[in-house]
């Protein structure tokens, strides 16, 4: 047997780690070269990693839900046609000596049989004898994590009745939740007193875990400042209303306010390049092109696909490009390049009715802008008259290492003037 270590491949400079979402192949199963091996969730996109070889998967080294740095070993495979090195050939020689215990949380030996991870399969993919599986589960029940111990105590569960599905037969929080959901608890154990209501625990999806880590990193590393400006978009609303029916008939795509905002933001970033930069250990890295990230809410969570070269696109091109990316995000068909290379993020919190928000910067970018809900407000105009206008707030969070308040103020003022210059006579479409 020629064992080969499979590593999580590097997929881009900005992607440093991924969450193992799902193993597509079980230990003992044969796989062809380029067949899907594992599904990985990064902070950019969900992707399937193909097998680099043809052969048999011997065991997985990381479990589903684990966060793994790019380049770390994730599996062992018996590769077809490969010649084992002398050290492996010698190790494969039958021996009567029992295997030595392996330190670390990933795997261990129980009654001289190696556990291979959450599938509960040994070499060749065959299930272990029931007695050995029971021994593994019994051993696993004695090594409860603090979270599992707390859940067991809260629900008054006899841990000996739980069947562990984690690595080495360990009991996971999902095992406890499944046991509770299966019906009345057949337990004689007295629950430990717990102050206050018992919370329900919702398991983290790989995307939710990635979003949490990414947002925490942003707030931890970036000294963020916030600013807001109000914009009169009465002319923009009138222009969109006048053009909407013709546009949607001619290009078969909805005309929302997003492409107008994307166009204005991209043009203003070219005039205010510090907002399109990013902090670098050696200085401030300037970007020559606007790769505009557009925040999209999906059933799985927030995804930010990128419109590359947005400064060179007109409103119609931006509308079509944004519509295609949003559809791909919501159907899970984004490609890795669709979420890489963003230099600035635009978010439309106004679609949810928000009028003021403080967005978190999409690390490592320098700023993020939100367009808020368009609402009618009384406004004092020239001559001190009070009129009802359609107003929208623009809110921005920016990296104070890259930009000062003056830079942010000039950028917001430029956005305001560009928005308010649009009226029914404009020729944007």
Could you give the residue numbers annotated as active site?
Answer: 400, 404
End-to-end CA distance of the chain: 65
Contact 269, 344 (CB under 8 A): yes
**Structural tokens at position 152:** 């067991």
Residue of 317, 291, 318, 316 lying closest to 305 (CA atoms): 291
Helices (H) and strands (E) in the chain, counts: 9, 21
Cα–Cα distance, 293 to 99 (Å, whole number): 52
Contact 54, 31 (CB under 8 A): yes
Cα–Cα distance, 149 to 366 (Å, whole number): 42
Three-state SS for 291-327 is: CEEECEECCCCEECCEECCHHHCCHHHHHHHHHHHHH
Cα–Cα distance, 322 to 342 (Å, whole number): 14
Residue of 264, 227, 304, 281 lying closest to 402 (CA atoms): 281
For 233-313, list the strands marked E by DSSP: 278-280, 283-285, 292-294, 296-297, 302-303, 306-307
Phi-psi bin for 156: left (phi > 0), alpha (psi -120 to 50), beta?
left
State the alpha helices, DSSP H only, in 315-404.
315-331
- Map tokens 């003022």 to a residue: 413
Contact 191, 154 (CB under 8 A): yes
- Map tokens 């104070």 to a residue: 400
**Structural tokens at position 420:** 């308010």
Cα–Cα distance, 340 to 338 (Å, whole number): 6
Cα–Cα distance, 402 to 306 (Å, whole number): 22
Contact 303, 334 (CB under 8 A): yes
Residues 6+ apart with CB under 8 A from 330: 296, 298, 299
Hey, how many other C-beta atoms are within 10 angstroms of the C-beta on 256? 16
């Amino acid at each position: 047997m020629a064992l080969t270590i499979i590593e999580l491949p590097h997929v881009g400079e900005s992607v440093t780690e991924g969450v193992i979402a799902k193993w597509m192949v079980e230990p003992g199963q044969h796989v062809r070269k380029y067949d899907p091996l594992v599904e990985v969730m990064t902070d950019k996109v969900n992707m399937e990693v193909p097998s680099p070889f043809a052969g048999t998967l011997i065991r997985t080294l990381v479990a589903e839900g684990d966060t793994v740095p790019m380049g770390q070993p994730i599996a062992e495979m018996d590769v077809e046609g490969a010649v084992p090195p002398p050290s492996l050939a010698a190790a494969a020689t039958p021996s009567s000596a029992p295997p030595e215990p392996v330190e670390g949380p990933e795997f261990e030996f129980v009654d001289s049989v190696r556990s291979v991870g959450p599938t509960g399969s040994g070499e060749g993919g065959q299930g272990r004898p029931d007695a050995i599986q029971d021994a593994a589960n019994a051993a696993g029940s004695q090594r409860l994590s603090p979270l599992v111990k707390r859940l067991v105590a809260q629900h008054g569960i006899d841990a000996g009745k739980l069947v562990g599905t984690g690595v080495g037969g360990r009991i996971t929080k999902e095992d406890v939740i499944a046991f509770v959901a299966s019906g009345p608890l057949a337990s004689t154990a007295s629950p430990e007193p717990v102050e206050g209501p018992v919370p329900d625990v919702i398991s983290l999806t790989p995307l939710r875990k990635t979003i949490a880590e990414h947002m925490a990193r942003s707030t931890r590393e970036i000294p963020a400042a916030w600013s807001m400006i109000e914009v009169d978009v009465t002319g923009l609303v009138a222009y969109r209303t006048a053009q909407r029916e013709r546009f949607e008939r001619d290009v078969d795509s909805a005309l929302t306010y997003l492409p107008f905002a994307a166009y204005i933001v991209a043009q203003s970033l070219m005039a205010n390049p510090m907002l399109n930069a990013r902090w670098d250990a050696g200085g401030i890295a300037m970007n020559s092109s606007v790769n505009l990230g557009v925040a999209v809410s999906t059933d799985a969570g927030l995804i930010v696909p990128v419109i590359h070269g947005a400064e060179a696109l007109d409103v119609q091109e931006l509308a079509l490009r944004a519509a295609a990316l949003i559809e791909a995000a919501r159907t899970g068909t984004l490609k890795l390049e669709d979420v890489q290379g963003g230099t600035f993020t635009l978010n439309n919190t106004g679609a949810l009715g928000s009028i003021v928000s403080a967005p978190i910067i999409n690390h490592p970018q320098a700023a993020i802008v939100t367009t808020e809900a368009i609402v009618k407000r009384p406004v004092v105009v020239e001559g001190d008259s009070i009129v009802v206008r359609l107003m929208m707030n623009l809110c921005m969070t920016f990296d104070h290492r890259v930009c000062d308040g003056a830079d942010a103020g000039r950028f917001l003022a430029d956005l305001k003037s560009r928005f308010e210059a649009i009226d029914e006579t404009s020729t944007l479409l």
